[in-house]
Amino acid sequence: MTVENWVNPFDNPELVAGYETWHETDGRSADIAERRLIRWLLSGLPQAQRLLEIGVGTGHFARWLASEGYHVTGVDLSAPMIAEASRRGGVYLVRADAEALPSLMILSMGCYSLLHLSFCRILNVRCKKQRVSLDTGSS
């Protein structure tokens, strides 16, 4: 498959429509495990106040993190996912390709703790924790 004919699976309206429900039903145990993992990851970043969620989807975790007191910015390439997240409210959203992240962060003019979680299955968890600081050129 080439870039020209690539189709984003997260642009599928049926997937978007069922995304939140999955976390409450079949994906409930995964949701609980992900929240535990996120809490654990954030415990290593006690100063974190601003979070950037790449692949925010419908904003499920971003809204939860905002309710925990974090200032969350969500980024997603999928227009339907961003539209649903926007409809649900609670966080600042940007529709963009994550490859544009450095320029997005410069526009935001701040420091973020970046958490990117990718769950294939509840028992096959891959996670990546990074602390990203933005040098805005000021000292």
Residue 138 lies in a domain: no
pLDDT of 104 reads 54
Residue 14 lies in a domain: yes
Domains in the chain: how many in total? 1
pLDDT tens string 72-97: 989 899 999 999 999 999 999 999 88
pLDDT of 82 reads 95
| Whether the predicted pLDDT of 118 surpasses 50 | no
- What CATH number is attached to the domain comprising 21? 3.40.50.150
**Neighbouring residues of 20: CB distance < 8 A, sequence distance ≥ 6:** 58, 60, 84, 88
Residue 28 lies in a domain: yes
The residue that leads in pLDDT, 98 or 19, is 19
| Whether the predicted pLDDT of 23 surpasses 90 | no
Q: Which pLDDT band, with edges at 50, 70 and 90, does 119 fall under?
A: very low
Residue 136 lies in a domain: no
pLDDT of 58 reads 93
Residue 139 lies in a domain: no
The residue that leads in pLDDT, 119 or 17, is 17
For tokens 């028992």, the residue is: 123
Residue 137 lies in a domain: no
Residue 1 lies in a domain: no
Tokens of 8: 């984003």
**Amino acid of residue 72:** V
If you count them, how many residues does the chain have?
A: 139
Tell me which residue of 30, 15, 59, 44 sits closest to 118, measured CA to CA.
30
pTM: 0.71
Q: Residue 102's domain spans which residues?
A: 10-131
